[in-house]
Chain A
Amino acid sequence: MTNASVERATPLPAGTRAPEFELRSTPDQTVSLAEFRGRPLILVFYPEDWSPVCSDQLALYQELLPEFQRVDAELVGISVDGVWCHLAFAKDRNLHFPLLADFEPKGEVARAYRVYRTKDGTSERALYVIDANGVVQWSYVSPVGVNPGADGILRALENLGKE
């Protein structure tokens, strides 16, 4: 493992207003942060479609969609890959949640969320839980090669319910 991959970005902390975005999820559809107002949103930044860790991580989240839906939370993935790549990846891996293309300008949204890796040209493996008012309630950056699992997300969603 190189030093570059050990260094991790510091994500936007809890309490920060989540930066707005509007990205393509398919060749003719876009998804914006504003659409999720009123519901918690899980934002999953991952380095690249097809990479082994990303595939396992997203498959796990797919399995957990019913748990997320139980608390009315939505899940979206974001990487710098383009929409056609996302479509092929989602189809191959049976992923049924939006994958957003942070493709042009490349990594702009990842930068806004402070999780862009300039050296690699991809984002960190980062998780955000954004509340119904569009405020970051939890954020986490995992080492790029480590699947962060879902217990942190579930805990963050439970804490939302307590407020």
Chain B
Amino acid sequence: MSTTQWGAALTMPVSEERDHIQGPAEAAVTLVEYGDYECPYCGAAYPIIKELQSRMGERLRFVFRNFPITTSHPHAEQAAESAEAAAIQGSFWQMHDLLYENQRRLRASDLRDYAESLALDVERFDREMAEHAHATRVREDFMSGVRSGVNGTPTFYINGARHDDSYDIETMLAALERAAA
């Protein structure tokens, strides 16, 4: 359903320093996703994003921000924190991909296995997970989403404007191309 009458916009601008980004800063169009690792709709969007990236190449900059809804998804918060723990060790996107490819296996022991498989410093990973070292960052993402009008996941922003249409490949590609033009 189209809900364009809202016209919600991204309140926290994309930051090359802070955000997790794929694609060049000078790309023609920036796509921001607010996502939850345990949300099946985000799981369905995951290969769509990959396809968009492969079709648009360097013309697309993709940004992922956390929006775990723990009320519905009990493993979403720890999964988000694990991706941030991996990010500190330079492996955010590898962990992000593993989480979406294994959405039904997000227990603490699973996350640890993924950290091991990425050859992270697992001791450090364990410590940061136990201390919830990245909870503040995850919450910051979450609140920036709330203030930008995220009402569920996934929610996308194209060049800062909320994409209220369907996120199937053709609709997304058309919207991105329009924004890039």
Inter-subunit contact A59/B72 (CB<8 Å)? yes
Q: Taking the complex as formed, is A1 at the interface, i.e. its CB lies under 8 A from any CB of chain B?
A: yes
**A24-B149 Cα distance, complex, nearest whole Å:** 32
Q: How large is the interface on B (under 10, 10 to 19, 20 to 34, 35 or more residues)?
A: 10 to 19
**A31-B61 Cα distance, complex, nearest whole Å:** 50
Q: How large is the interface on A (under 10, 10 to 19, 20 to 34, 35 or more residues)?
A: 20 to 34
Q: Taking the complex as formed, is B24 at the interface, i.e. its CB lies under 8 A from any CB of chain A?
A: no
Inter-subunit contact B149/A149 (CB<8 Å)? yes
Residues of chain A from 34 to 77 with CB closer than 8 A to chain B in the complex: 55-57, 59-60, 62-64, 67
Q: Taking the complex as formed, is B152 at the interface, i.e. its CB lies under 8 A from any CB of chain A?
A: yes
With beta carbons under 8 angstroms apart, the residue of B1, B146, B148 that contacts A146 is B1
* Minimum C-beta distance from A160 to chain B (A): 17
Inter-subunit contact B146/A62 (CB<8 Å)? no
Write the A96-119 contact mask toward B (1 if CB under 8 angstroms, else 0): 000000000000000000000000
Q: Taking the complex as formed, is B109 at the interface, i.e. its CB lies under 8 A from any CB of chain A?
A: no
**A60-B39 Cα distance, complex, nearest whole Å:** 13
Residue numbers in B under 8 Å from A95 (CB-CB): 71
**A95-B69 Cα distance, complex, nearest whole Å:** 12
Inter-subunit contact A60/B149 (CB<8 Å)? no
**A148-B6 Cα distance, complex, nearest whole Å:** 9
Inter-subunit contact B149/A93 (CB<8 Å)? no
Q: Taking the complex as formed, is A150 at the interface, i.e. its CB lies under 8 A from any CB of chain B?
A: yes
Residue numbers in B under 8 Å from A63 (CB-CB): 69-71, 142
Inter-subunit contact B1/A60 (CB<8 Å)? no
- Known contacts A1-B1, A151-B8, A151-B146, A93 near B72 by CB under 8 Å: yes
Inter-subunit contact B143/A67 (CB<8 Å)? yes
Inter-subunit contact B151/A149 (CB<8 Å)? yes
Q: Taking the complex as formed, is A26 at the interface, i.e. its CB lies under 8 A from any CB of chain B?
A: no
Residue numbers in A under 8 Å from B166 (CB-CB): none
Residues of B within 8 A of A (CB): 1, 3, 6, 8, 69-72, 142-143, 146-152
- 21 example contacts (A-B, Cβ-Cβ < 8 A) are as follows A55-B72, A56-B69, A56-B151, A57-B151, A60-B69, A63-B142, A64-B146, A67-B143, A93-B71, A93-B72, A94-B71, A94-B72, A143-B3, A145-B1, A146-B6, A146-B151, A149-B8, A149-B150, A150-B146, A151-B149, A154-B146
| 4 additional A-B residue pairs with CB within 8 Å, beyond A59-B69, A59-B71, A154-B146 | A56-B69, A60-B152, A146-B1, A149-B146
